[in-house]
Structure 1
């Protein structure tokens, strides 16, 4: 199969068959006859008529590549074709959604409605037999989202394994993100501000801020030590040392999530540290195999990064001691990554099974977002990092391990903020598929 230009018709047909099978099993377990999924409706700001950006129900966009259809519904009844109740209002104030078209429409019975309330006539007659999955404000008459937990647990657990169609969507999202990363990197080397780099990214991605899967992190210098930095300063710093960008893209409802760290041309020592983190990151990506305990891979990341700290003279203790003492968490305080797909931090990362049981995080690692074993078809992010965070370093100075830190070396790296390198990696029956590295290879050198 051509992974870059696949025929979406058979891929989507197989995808819908998979969703039907999962829906059948989930409905039978929860004791319902119909799966009803509202796309969602607009939310409005308090005491105003301004609406917030619309973000579609992820369960809705799982069934079809439509993300801008508030007031629409999907109804699936086992043994029947799914129905799309599509709101296309008569409206001259706003953009009206285009009529459904494309590779997916043949798999749905489509009903066009002009008023949101008209959906009631097309929904199942017995609401008590419906599992209605959505936000509370999506209620329409007596059709109020009930979100049965047994059904949610079943659907979310199985969502980890991506269909071939979903992987095709994520490859495109990765390519868009890689292209935009290249534009942001060029803007950084041209001496642009964080705001200007952000705008270069949006232009290259051809997506607005609200179309991206998450808010861009565009961090120059010490701002790279703020894990979720969103300030976007309009003026460039007087001297640029480093650039950390964590930014993704969306395609047909699916996300990419990519992080890269770049050094200024005169930051040779920092570039060497980036190279070591990159090499460690690639070894961890190679561990994305079916059956691999993701929490164990996270702990392996701490060992890898502690070895990097030792190699670059930032710590005097052994790598093993740095992990055992918790010192490695000062420099790497977040989790290795997370599931990704319909949502950038996708669901069921802690699920032990489809009954709602969960797997706890390892002690001392409260920010890890996934603990379940990796399975065939899963896509996970691998994003190790090394940071120089003033607050955490100050706390480390007060411990008995302070004597084992090369503080002069650490202090010399504070101006760079930190390093994070993140790829989206799919688990296959063979070697892992690195969606991110493949995308960079298509758009230019990595």
Structure 2
């Protein structure tokens, strides 16, 4: 861990320099004095005396890896040393996260706040030319902010967040390592005959994360449950037989996420062959990802490859060209090929054409694609083709004119397996793609 912290320290200052440069540009463009970034505050459960798990403002954790401390504030102007107002209450009910000897501390002018409602004394005296960035609008208004989450400022921040610094890339490699540890344990538990809940617990144990530290709720689906794209139920009982297993789960490190999916067959057969074929399609798509291409174009390529797969496995009775013309692939692959990844699993700015926030529409007929960005170096995206046997989509397809071109007998034989998704996390470099998921051992 000390070697890791040494490496992070070396890269962190450059990371802050990049963030300061972005803020300086914003301040000059919008003619304001500074950004005041609120970490957030806890939320009480309705009619209860307990809070929901705290989730830090991603704009706050972009600057420093403090994830568990509400009521803290950052004041940044792009020039001066950032000021951190760090909440450290006198509290005997809960653990207080005290400042230790962290690699990031020297970069901030730190002031301790012991009572959340006294932050006004530590903020600038006049706030009407400062921009509040956070979710607690009533707090901002009470403190006297006039500029609350100004759209031009958020657009600028969100657009440039797509470009990951070397520090961020290192954090995402660590998040990937953590996710892979969980995946390997989950795979072993599946082949040992575990239930969905058993597999979920095995992931948590191996990744050394509790459920609130996960970047998103694990998808752990056996058999037909894999046909539900966001299945997070976790059956406690083992199925009568294990046919298939889909796991979509990631790790988290310093506030950065990984997002990894694998699918396994219990035995050799057609479904196992389908997994191998989709795996090759996924690798081909990763190899095709290049700077200056539209992500939407790669998504369209994926549909052509899925069409060919449907033909190869006899799931349709027409050519791949006709499958595309009749939009049949959307019934088997209904989601987008991938999305930006970083401080959030579905990171912001996916549809932005520029820093002003100009919207770039997805390709016609593909409304669920999560990014339409032009790919550039230092972007991090997921590549996640899928093939599913989803009852509601197949029922609609069977009633449509193109339903007559489907080999329903073969589809019915595969429905108990649910579906397949293969997802890797990719850093795009100028001359090559870094597949963190594969490179780090999955």
Number of the residue aligned with 2:338: 337
The aligned residue for residue 219 of structure 1 is 221
Q: Secondary structure at the match of 1:63?
A: coil
Equivalent residues in 2 for 1:25-424 (5 A)?
Answer: 25-136=25-136, 139=139, 141-144=142-145, 146-265=148-267, 267-424=268-425
1: CA distance between counterparts of 2:288 and 2:74? Answer: 38
Deviates more, 1:105-114 or 1:117-126: 117-126
Aligned in 2, Cα 1:4/1:373: closer, same or farther, shift over 3 Å? Answer: farther
Distance in 1, matches of 2:317 and 2:237, equals 38
Going from structure 1 to structure 2, the CA distance change for 1:326 and 1:164 (only over 3 Å counts) comes to same
Q: C-alpha displacement at 1:77, in angstroms?
A: 2.1
**Is the 1:33–1:78 Cα contact (8 Å) retained in structure 2?**
no
Which shifted more, 307-316 or 273-282? 307-316
1:78 CA displacement: 3.2
Matched residues in 2 for 1:419 and 1:143: separation? 52
Shift of 1:335: 0.4
Which residue of structure 1 lines up, in the alignment, with residue 434 of structure 2?
Answer: 433
SS in 2 for 1:41: coil
SS at match of 2:28: helix
Gap runs ≥5 in structure 2: none
Q: C-alpha distance in 1, partners of 2:337/2:96?
A: 42
C-alpha deviation, 1:287, in angstroms: 2.2
Q: How far did 1:86 drift?
A: 0.3
Cα distance in structure 2, aligned partners of 1:62 and 1:100: 20
Instruction: Judge conservation of contact 2:40–2:136 (CA < 8 Å) in 1.
Output: no
Does the C-alpha gap of structure 1 residues 233 and 12 become closer, same or farther in structure 2, counting only changes over 3 Å? Answer: same
Coordinate RMSD, CA, aligned: 1.4
Moved over 3 A (4+): 3-6
Kindly indicate whether the alpha-carbon contact (under 8 Å) linking 1:244 and 1:420 is maintained by their aligned counterparts in 2: yes
CA apart distance, 1:258: 0.2
The residue that corresponds to 1:443 in the other structure is none
Distance 1:286 1:4, change over 3 A: farther
What's the secondary structure of 2:128's corresponding residue?
helix
Deviation at 1:100, TM superposition (A): 4.7
Q: Give the secondary-structure state (helix, strand or coil) at the position aligned to 2:211.
A: coil
Contact 2:338 2:384 in 1 (8 A): yes
- Once the two structures are superposed, residues 165-215 of structure 1 have per-residue CA deviations (whole angstroms, 9 ceiling, x without a partner) of 000000000000001000000000010000110000000111011100000
Say which is worse superposed, 375-384 or 144-153, in terms of deviation.
Answer: 144-153
* 8 A Cα contact 1:41 1:138, kept in partner: no
Quick one: structure 1 residues 4 and 412, their matched pair in 2 at CA, closer, same or farther if it must change by over 3 Å? farther
Give the aligned length. 438
Hey, what's the Cα distance between the residues in 2 that align with 1:112 and 1:343? 28
Distance between the aligned counterparts of 2:26 and 2:287, measured in 1?
34
Q: CA deviation at 1:420?
A: 0.2
Does the CA-based 8 Å contact 1:263-1:271 persist in structure 2? yes
Shift of 1:296: 0.5
- Answer with 249-258 or 307-316: which moved more: 307-316
Whole-Å separation in 2 of the counterparts to 1:4 and 1:321 = 52
Question: Which secondary structure does the structure 1 equivalent of 2:27 belong to?
Answer: helix
Could you tell me how far apart the structure 2 residues matched to 1:97 and 1:5 are? Answer: 19
